Structure 1
Amino acid sequence: MNKITLVLLILVLGITRINAQSDTYVLEEDIPYYETNVSNSDAYIKERCKLDVYYPKEAEGLATVVWFHGGGLESGEKHIPDGLKNKGVIVVTVNYRMHPKVKHPVYIEDAAAAVSWTFKNIAKYKGDPKKIFISGHSAGGYLASMVGLDKTYLEKFDIDTDEIAGLIPFSGHTITHFTIRKEMGIRGTQPIIDKFAPLFHVRKDAPSMLLITGNRELEMLGRYEENAYFYRMMKVVDHPDIELMELDGYGHNMVYPAVPLLLDFVKRKTVALVPK
């Protein structure tokens, strides 16, 4: 067999393998995550409060990554990030209502409703409710942190935040989000730590966390530093399982290189959940 034939054969086999793997996954789109009476009560809820579930047909008891898109709480659409497809995890990707049509804390309430839906329904998609990880980029990372740290949002749905297997915010605010500050008439360069800041809810018993940001010199203003401060305060209260990673060479748009770190974190924490 000559080299050209061998290369072509490898390429064909590779494409066949990729296609076969892709064919084992199903994407179920635009599932309302509020109860029907709530969805029907408001046109904007009915339009925006939907999620997609991407799951494999054959596997059982998989981990789930709930993904919230970025966009400053003002723009963006649900999507599956590059690198999260065909990786042996279920992905739940979420739309939520946005500024200026709504104001805080509606964004966080929607995120909590989507996480609650996941806990209550993921077994139908062969996922394990004990292996649910919450993630997202920028505004989505902020929402992941708020839902996982402020217990009040999930309590409304009879869900304990400590049942979350892990939080992996990508370049998310740990101070109060700049759009929320804008809604309160506070300029974007004035940092605030109130009940709408993940930093306000630092606690020892929070879920495992992996904080990822771009390089501190390339990131949005102060984004690495506020995550570093959050990390330090979690250490001060003796949180047992938090990591902080700064991606050199990348700025705020650091999703693609961060996804393998997310997957590694999910794998490590999932293994730890297996009874010995």
Structure 2
Amino acid sequence: MKHVITFLTTILFLYASSLSAQSDGLAKQNVPYYGQSQDAYTNQQCLLDVYIPEGKSDFATIVWFHGGGLTGGQKEIPDYLKGKGMAVVGVGYRFSPQVQVETIIQDAAQSVKWVFEEIEKLGGSKDKIVLSGHSAGGYLAMMITLNKSYLQHHAINVDDLLGVVPFSCQAITHFTARQEQGIEINQPTIDKHAPLFWVRNDVPPVTLITGDRDLEMVGRYEENAYLARMLKIVGNENIKLLELDGYDHGMVYPALPILVKQVNEWLKKS
């Protein structure tokens, strides 16, 4: 009898968990955005989760890249973004040193390709896709936005994005890419793995958010300020730079409400 009760309790727990996931809007989990014909490490890492807002259609989608220095972390859907009338896609990707930074950027582009191809099947609009993420995630969002070739490879015009909102992204060459070249972490460089290298006109709207310049990771505010300035100099008008006074590099929560507000503002103008 004890085993029967335990079994029934387990079934009820799983059923309740299933209902909770459904009511929470989690439509898909651990989706392999490369398909299943890849190597074991790719199949393990290159997965995404999809949160869909209930009772909505033609909704906007935030593609969220997690942080972790391109060497760690895990895919996530920030709780604050749930229930805001938008879909959220939490993307996982491969890490250094198992792969090069170039490959990680390609993973980010492949995940965005999946969103463009699949989001309308789930009720969303491919004309309302926003890229975002924290730290290394923000870096990935900016790299595939400014270097158009990553999404052009998938026949996607990156300028069709509704906008991009990176949190405390690296604007010079990412320190993990510098490490691959034997460059010390505090030696700044700008090469093909720097968003600043790809400054161009006619980018989609960009809102850069950082923590307090005196509390952030060394130079992170200044990197973003330089990127914002250069994007404006070449003729982009929809560029913002926001500094969150009193917050250090872990400024994700105070930035999330700003992300939601910014997406809603872009939707009103679209």
Amino acid corresponding to residue 172 of structure 1 in structure 2: C
**What does residue 162 of structure 2 align with?**
165
- Distance in 2, Cα, partners of 1:124 & 1:130: 13
Q: Secondary structure at the match of 1:186?
A: coil
Alpha-carbon deviations, 1:141-195, whole Å to 9, x = none? 0000001110111111111111111010000001010000001111111111111
Please state if 1:106 is matched with 2:103: yes
**What does residue 15 of structure 2 align with?**
none
Query: After the TM superposition, which residues 247-262 of structure 1 pair with which residues of structure 2 at under 5 Å, given as runs?
Result: 247-262=244-259
Please state if 1:76 is matched with 2:73: yes
Aligned partner of 1:95 among 71, 77, 92: 92
**What does residue 239 of structure 1 align with?**
236
Change (3 A) 1:262 1:42: same
Q: Secondary structure at the match of 2:165?
A: strand
Q: Secondary structure at the match of 2:121?
A: helix
**What does residue 269 of structure 1 align with?**
266
Query: After the TM superposition, which residues 175-254 of structure 1 pair with which residues of structure 2 at under 5 Å, given as runs?
Result: 175-254=172-251
- Once the two structures are TM-superposed, the CA of residue 41 in structure 1 deviates from its matched residue by 2.9
Amino acid corresponding to residue 193 of structure 1 in structure 2: I
- Once the two structures are TM-superposed, the CA of residue 58 in structure 1 deviates from its matched residue by 2.1
Aligned sequence identity (%)? 51
Amino acid corresponding to residue 96 of structure 2 in structure 1: H
- Once the two structures are TM-superposed, the CA of residue 24 in structure 1 deviates from its matched residue by 6.1
**What does residue 31 of structure 2 align with?**
31
Please state if 1:52 is matched with 2:49: yes
Amino acid corresponding to residue 208 of structure 1 in structure 2: P
TM, length-normalised to structure 2: 0.90
**What does residue 61 of structure 2 align with?**
64
TM, length-normalised to structure 1: 0.88
Aligned partner of 1:156 among 149, 153, 158: 153
- Distance in 2, Cα, partners of 1:101 & 1:54: 29
- Once the two structures are TM-superposed, the CA of residue 125 in structure 1 deviates from its matched residue by 1.3
Deviates more, 1:132-141 or 1:155-164: 155-164
Amino acid corresponding to residue 132 of structure 1 in structure 2: I
- Once the two structures are TM-superposed, the CA of residue 117 in structure 1 deviates from its matched residue by 0.5
- Once the two structures are TM-superposed, the CA of residue 104 in structure 1 deviates from its matched residue by 2.1
Is this contact kept in 2: 1:204–1:240, CA < 8 A?
no
- Once the two structures are TM-superposed, the CA of residue 68 in structure 1 deviates from its matched residue by 0.2
Give the gaps of 5 or more residues in structure 1: 1-18
- Once the two structures are TM-superposed, the CA of residue 198 in structure 1 deviates from its matched residue by 0.5
- Distance in 2, Cα, partners of 1:140 & 1:158: 23
**What does residue 113 of structure 2 align with?**
116
Amino acid corresponding to residue 169 of structure 2 in structure 1: G
Alpha-carbon deviations, 1:43-96, whole Å to 9, x = none? 111111110000024211000000000000000001112311111110000000
Q: Secondary structure at the match of 2:50?
A: strand
Is this contact kept in 2: 1:82–1:256, CA < 8 A?
no
**What does residue 11 of structure 1 align with?**
none
Is this contact kept in 1: 2:63–2:91, CA < 8 A?
yes
Is this contact kept in 2: 1:65–1:91, CA < 8 A?
yes
- Equivalent residue pairs, number: 252
- Distance in 2, Cα, partners of 1:82 & 1:202: 33
Is this contact kept in 1: 2:53–2:82, CA < 8 A?
no
- Distance in 2, Cα, partners of 1:41 & 1:118: 19
- The CA RMSD measured in Å over matched residues stands at 1.6
Amino acid corresponding to residue 30 of structure 1 in structure 2: N
